[in-house]
Amino acid sequence: MSATQMLVYYSTATFEITPEAAVTHIAPILKSARKNNPEHGVTGALFLGSGYFMQILEGDREAVSRAFTRIIPDPRHKDIVVVGAGPIKQSYFPDWSMGFFDGEQNT
């Protein structure tokens, strides 16, 4: 078994952040991630705030790479910047198929 990897990126949302966007754009992202990630051994968290996404993906290198490859072309975001990637000693989100933090709700 390979070491646990983490990939962190941020990107710009391509839609206006409104309460309706939560239903139209965010809910489908979370539903898909929460369904597919456990099957592929991926965990992590998605953050949304001030028109930006930040996501942390964890798992073995191949699983994280495949997940990120599927995420890149998603039209709901653009201007993707990888902040960091590499091995970690342990998962920060071992029980989360995809956690979600909505910074828009706290402003």
Share of the chain above pLDDT 70, in %: 95
Supply the pLDDT for residue 107. Answer: 39
Instruction: Report whether 13 contacts 51 (CB < 8 A).
Output: yes
- Secondary element (H or E) of residue 81: strand 77-87
Supply the pLDDT for residue 105. Answer: 65
- The pLDDT of 97-103, averaged and rounded, is 90
Cα-atom radius of gyration of the chain, to the nearest Å?
A: 13
43-49, strands of its sheet edge to edge? 77-87, 4-13, 52-60, 43-49, 99-102
Supply the pLDDT for residue 2. Answer: 67
Supply the pLDDT for residue 89. Answer: 94
Angle at CA 75, nearest 5°, toward 36 and 78?
A: 110
One-character DSSP codes across 26-80: IHHHHHHHHHHHHHHT-EEEEEEETTEEEEEEEEEHHHHHHHHHHHTT-TTEEEE
Supply the pLDDT for residue 23. Answer: 83
Q: How sure is the predictor about 78, in pLDDT bands with cuts at 50, 70 and 90? A: very high
Encode pLDDT of 20-52 as tens digits.
Answer: 887 899 999 999 999 999 999 999 999 998 999
Encode pLDDT of 8-22 as tens digits.
Answer: 999 999 998 888 887
Q: Which residues contact 82 (CB under 8 A, 6 or more apart)?
A: 7, 8, 9
pLDDT exceeds 80 at position 62: yes
Instruction: Report whether 96 contacts 45 (CB < 8 A).
Output: yes
